Chains A and B, each alone.
Chain A
Amino acid sequence: MKGILDFSYMIESVPAIAKGIPVSISIAVVAFGFGIVIGLIGALAKIYNIPVLKQITAVYVSFIRGTPLLVQIFLSYYGIPLVIRYFNFQYGTEWNISFIPAIYFIYVAFSLNAGAYLTETIRSAILSVDRGQIEASYSVGMTTYQSLKRIILPQALKVGLPNIGNQFIALLKDTSLAFAASVPEIIGMAKIIAGRTSQFFEVYIVAALMYWAICIVLERAMALLETRLRRNERGVQNDRN
């Protein structure tokens, strides 16, 4: 044996595994986008006590938090085609299941997953905004929507950003589970490549380093964003913004 690791093989495998990076990132970005929308709706339903929607949110958040992501992926992967087949049968629609790429089921599962966790994060960020300021905005005749958009959400974002950022990083790492639906993200690609040579260890080290690098970049970006937002707390507005 030459040594524990075959370095030249590792370097050779980089380009092939790297093909999974855009897929991983697309899952994280899509899920995060929908997750923010779902989370905002869920948080507002809870805070403003919107009947029905509030109860649905409670069950949804509890279910997602109480089941493994991998199981949610399976439910989405096997469940959505069943639902579509049922629709085709019941209503005579002709949606072709085999044309739907597996990644769409992954988008659904990850969006719902992110949405549940973001509901809680966004809710507590909104609740952290001083009640007095909300009353002040009402006292000058602003509507609930104006108050949310111009006073509450900008401040909630500042409070919630570190948490939301961490959730995005966690989400990106979770995308590694998408291989379970044969989606060619980083781990999916790694498995394919390692399957040919059986050099699993080398390939997974390369994959690990890729996640690590992406996360370091994300953490840096997050820190930059935070300092930008915090500038406003220094008492005086700079002329630049």
Chain B
Amino acid sequence: MIEINNLHKHFKGNYVLKGVGFEVGKGETVAIIGPSGSGKSTLLRCINLLETPSDGEIKLDELTIHAHHITKEMLLKVRRSTGMVFQNYNLFANKTAIENIAEALITVKKKTRSDAMAEAEVLLNKVGLQNRAKHYPSGLSGGEQQRVAIARALALNPKVILFDEPTSALDPELVQEVLQVIRKVAKEHVTMIIVTHELEFARDVADKVIFMDDGRIIEQNSAVEFFKNPKEERTKKFLEKFTQQSMYYI
């Protein structure tokens, strides 16, 4: 169970998050959508403390973090119980696919290399890349890199996986293979928060959808209700713009 309360973040007077709060139940998938610059990435980065929140509270099960008292141990604890999948994959370029997944098991969980590699192999199978184990990131397609990144995020068995536009950097023909892997993970009841522009996908896999604009949550609802009966004017406008856009694509 994850709970975010009154989260604020500003960069030198630039207010990016202006009091964000929501809950994610165990095993739930939450999609966050919203226009560019609304603070979606910053929100995810605050949750795993890649950015230090300016104010507010984050609860991950029994672990409670107040923005004003973050110790080094807490920081590591939070990061070890959250996984992150980045837009640009960010795989370790000096490690093979399987080593990327094993890395945290070795350094953080202190497993032996052979144990870690065995576990990593299972995860590599899960994302369908058993035949790419010894490839370096430079020898993988974007879709494959992102699938490895998902396996890397799963490795520590985190309480939640944060996805920041996992398919935005991909060529269109590679998007589906990555979404397919995310769907599969969602089915295993891994708790996930996904920032995405793929509304179709959000409707499909998310239990709950959150719409953000200008550093605030404008509307949140179950995925079905959210798309069927958006309540706020801004949400309607945003959804309209997107449906129009996808109509042009047809």
Please determine whether B139 and A150 come into contact, CB atoms closer than 8 angstroms.
no
Please determine whether B108 and A141 come into contact, CB atoms closer than 8 angstroms.
yes
A236: B residues at CB distance < 8 A: 134-136, 139
Please determine whether B90 and A138 come into contact, CB atoms closer than 8 angstroms.
no
CB of A68 closer than 8 Å to a CB of B: no
CB of A170 closer than 8 Å to a CB of B: no
Nearest A-chain residue to B98, judged by Cβ: A237
Please determine whether A232 and B136 come into contact, CB atoms closer than 8 angstroms.
yes
Please determine whether A146 and B136 come into contact, CB atoms closer than 8 angstroms.
no
Contact of B50 among A139, A142, A237 (CB under 8 A): A139
Please determine whether B83 and A139 come into contact, CB atoms closer than 8 angstroms.
yes
Question: How far, in Å, is A135 (CB) from chain B's closest CB?
Answer: 6
Q: How far apart sit A139 and B152, CA to CA, in the bound complex (Å)? A: 10
Q: How far apart sit A233 and B136, CA to CA, in the bound complex (Å)? A: 7
A154: B residues at CB distance < 8 A: 94
Within 8 A of B (CB), among A105-142: 130, 132-133, 135-142
Please determine whether B50 and A140 come into contact, CB atoms closer than 8 angstroms.
no
Q: How far apart sit A146 and B76, CA to CA, in the bound complex (Å)? A: 12
Please determine whether B96 and A237 come into contact, CB atoms closer than 8 angstroms.
yes
Nearest A-chain residue to B97, judged by Cβ: A237
Nearest B-chain residue to A157, judged by Cβ: B94
Q: How far apart sit A150 and B104, CA to CA, in the bound complex (Å)? A: 11
Q: How far apart sit A200 and B206, CA to CA, in the bound complex (Å)? A: 85
Q: How far apart sit A141 and B107, CA to CA, in the bound complex (Å)? A: 9
Please determine whether B136 and A235 come into contact, CB atoms closer than 8 angstroms.
yes
Please determine whether B135 and A137 come into contact, CB atoms closer than 8 angstroms.
no
Question: How far, in Å, is A150 (CB) from chain B's closest CB?
Answer: 7
A155: B residues at CB distance < 8 A: 93-94
CB of B48 closer than 8 Å to a CB of A: yes
A232: B residues at CB distance < 8 A: 94, 136
Within 8 A of A (CB), among B135-179: 135-136, 138-139, 149, 152-153, 155-156
CB of B182 closer than 8 Å to a CB of A: no
Question: How far, in Å, is A240 (CB) from chain B's closest CB?
Answer: 12
Please determine whether B76 and A132 come into contact, CB atoms closer than 8 angstroms.
no
CB of A151 closer than 8 Å to a CB of B: yes
Q: How far apart sit A234 and B137, CA to CA, in the bound complex (Å)? A: 10
Please determine whether B96 and A136 come into contact, CB atoms closer than 8 angstroms.
no
Please determine whether A130 and B90 come into contact, CB atoms closer than 8 angstroms.
yes
Contacts A236-B135, A236-B139, A237-B96 given; indicate if A140 touches B90 (C-beta within 8 A): no
Q: Mark interface residues in B31-61 (1 if CB within 8 Å of A CB, else 0).
A: 0000000000000000010100000000000
Contacts A133-B91, A237-B96 given; indicate if A140 touches B104 (C-beta within 8 A): yes
Q: How far apart sit A154 and B84, CA to CA, in the bound complex (Å)? A: 23
CB of A55 closer than 8 Å to a CB of B: no
Q: Mark interface residues in A202-233 (1 if CB within 8 Å of B CB, else 0).
A: 00000000000000000000000000000011
CB of A198 closer than 8 Å to a CB of B: no
CB of A143 closer than 8 Å to a CB of B: yes
Nearest B-chain residue to A141, judged by Cβ: B80
Question: How far, in Å, is B188 (CB) from chain A's closest CB?
Answer: 19
CB of B121 closer than 8 Å to a CB of A: no
Question: How far, in Å, is A161 (CB) from chain B's closest CB?
Answer: 13
Question: How far, in Å, is A49 (CB) from chain B's closest CB?
Answer: 15
Q: How far apart sit A161 and B11, CA to CA, in the bound complex (Å)? A: 37
A139: B residues at CB distance < 8 A: 48, 50, 79, 82-84, 86, 153
B50: A residues at CB distance < 8 A: 135, 138-139
* A-B pairs, 4 with minimum CB distance: A235-B139, A141-B80, A140-B104, A132-B90
17 additional contacts, CB 8 Å, given A135-B86, A141-B104? Answer: A132-B88, A135-B50, A136-B84, A136-B91, A137-B103, A138-B50, A139-B48, A139-B79, A139-B153, A141-B108, A143-B76, A151-B94, A151-B95, A233-B138, A236-B135, A236-B139, A237-B134
